Structure 1
Amino acid sequence: MNKCGSKTFQLRLRRGTATSWITLGRFPEMSLRDARMQATWMHVCEYGTAEPGIRSSVCTVPQ
């Protein structure tokens, strides 16, 4: 929740020592379930796995 009271879903990604934040969406337009699913997909695409701390091949998003 930010200072104005709105709730935003964000994903933190680390690349080496750099950290970036990606905004997934705002509540209630995006549900918690949808935010978690999107975060999982983005994590898989970035690191190749849904498991934090483990890296493997880059994913391809199904069409």
Structure 2
Amino acid sequence: MNGALSLPWGKRRYDGAAQAVVLLGEIRQRVKNDPALNPDAIADGLCRQLAVGALEPDEELDAKLT
């Protein structure tokens, strides 16, 4: 698992699963702490870059996570 992702704050590379997990933590932290970021737009952009289908909202899970 290697690659690079374009994010609103810059391009980030990851090499291997461990770095991908760190990158996901960074994305989560930035989205939680910057109200100017649109989490849905970031998720859609990541899905496009990773060539995975769009994520369907899960209201029950969202309620548990907030």
TM-score by length of 2: 0.37
Larger Rg: 1
Q: Give the structure with the higher percent strand.
A: 1
TM-score by length of 1: 0.38
Q: Give the structure with the higher percent helix.
A: 2
